Each structure stands twice: as C-alpha cells, then as structure tokens.
C-alpha cells in the first residue's frame, strides 16, 4: 500500500511509471512530473481503466474512496467510465451554454456581428445569470440583468440583448 510520503517522494523519470496501491488503484507518474490516479478493472471480460483525479487535488484517502465507489458500480455490472461520460453529457444546460450554442449555429451572420453579440453577452449577461441552469431561469432574473445594463447608461444595448437570449419559463 502507498503512503503520502512515498507519493511526495516519487520523482519523474524519462518514461512514465506507476506506483501500485491496492485493488487496482495506481498512481501514474508522468515524465513532466504529474501524478495521476488510475484504476484498472475488468468488466464483461474486457480490461478498462478510469482516471480518478490528480494528486494532490485528490489525496490518497480520497482516491481510495473513489476507487471503492467505482468498484461498487463494477460489482453491479455498471461501467464507471460510461457512467462518468453520461453524467458529464447530462450536466445542467446553463444560459451561457445555450446562448453560445445558438450563436455557433448562426451561419448567416457576419463574423463581426457574431463577435459583437458574443461580447455583449459576455459583458452584460453571463456574469449575472450565465451560470443559471436554463430550466431554472426566470423572467425576473433576466429583467434584473437587463436593468443593470440600463443603469450603465447603454439603453440601446439593454433593448437589443433580449433578442439574443432564450426565453425563460
């Protein structure tokens, strides 16, 4: 079993190498000096590997906890790699993500127009409500962001901005 002292003392080599812990957990030491947690497992006869994070962001105790969580999934015939991908793909769609996707689909607009619209949203809307999941966005939240634009003395921008936003619930 690994110890924190062994992990701290591990130095990069010309080629990457692994320090094994137990039950499939290992720490990969990259030539650049990165220390990455990996879990090797077999599911349905196929050998797989999943990343569990970077040391020291994920200390030894937390890496072992993540390993145990992944092994519970494996024991129930659930692939932790596929589960992780599905969770990442199903993440909350924020106002910023939806607006950026919409802007990316506007092929008929000139590049300068897209840049201007993007800058307007980045300056005025995204800092206020960009991180709000689109399903939870309300009209009063958008109205408050638009009033902040008006308060800065750019009424025309406040008037045009709602046309570039998805409609709230």
Residue 104: domain span: 95-164
Q: Do 82 and 11 share a structural domain?
A: yes
Whether omega before 37 lies within 30 degrees of 0, making that bond cis, reads no
* Residue 159 pLDDT level (bands cut at 50, 70, 90): confident
Q: pLDDT at position 10, please?
A: 95
Handedness of CA 77, 80, 85, 90 (dihedral sign): positive
Q: Give pLDDT, residue 167.
A: 59
What pLDDT is stored for residue 4 in this prediction? 94
Do 46 and 111 lie in a common domain? no
The reported pLDDT for the residue numbered 129 is 87
Share of the chain above pLDDT 90, in %: 43
**Domain boundary residue, one of 47, 67, 89:** 89
Residue 76, SS3 per DSSP = coil
Supply the pLDDT for residue 27.
Answer: 97
Domain CATH number, residue 46: 3.30.160.390
Average pLDDT, the chain: 88
Q: Is the pLDDT of residue 135 over 90?
A: no
pLDDT digits (tens, 9 = 90+) for 30-52: 999 999 999 999 988 889 999 99
For residues 81 and 116, membership in a common domain is answered with no
Q: What is the structure's pLDDT at 166?
A: 61
CATH of the domain at 142: 1.10.150.130
pTM of the model: 0.56
In a domain, 156, yes or no: yes
150 and 78, same domain (yes or no): no
Q: Compute the 3-state secondary structure of the chain and give helix, strand, coil in percent, each to the nearest 5.
A: 50, 15, 30
Highest mean pLDDT out of 91-95, 122-126, 133-137:
122-126
Residues found in the chain: 169
Q: Is residue 169 part of a domain?
A: no
Average pLDDT for 116-122: 88
- 47 and 84 part of one domain: yes
Region label for 45, one of left (φ > 0), alpha (ψ between -120 and 50) or beta (otherwise): left
Structure tokens at 5: 């002292």
């Amino acid at each position: 079993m690994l110890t924190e002292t062994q992990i701290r003392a591990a130095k990069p080599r010309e080629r990457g190498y692994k320090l094994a812990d137990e039950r499939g957990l290992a720490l990969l030491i990259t030539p650049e000096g990165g220390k990455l947690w990996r879990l090797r497992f077999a599911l349905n006869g196929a050998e797989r590997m999943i990343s569990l994070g970077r040391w020291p962001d994920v200390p030894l105790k937390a890496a072992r906890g993540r390993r145990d969580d992944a092994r519970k999934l494996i024991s129930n015939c659930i692939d932790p790699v596929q589960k992780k991908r599905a969770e990442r793909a199903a993440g909350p769609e924020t106002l910023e993500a939806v607006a950026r996707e919409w802007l990316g689909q506007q092929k008929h607009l000139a590049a300068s127009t897209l840049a201007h619209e993007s800058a307007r949203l980045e300056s005025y809307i995204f800092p206020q409500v960009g991180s709000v999941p689109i399903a939870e966005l309300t009209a009063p939240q958008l109205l408050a962001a638009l009033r902040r634009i008006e308060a800065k003395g750019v009424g025309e921008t406040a008037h045009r901005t709602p046309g570039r936003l998805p409609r709230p619930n």
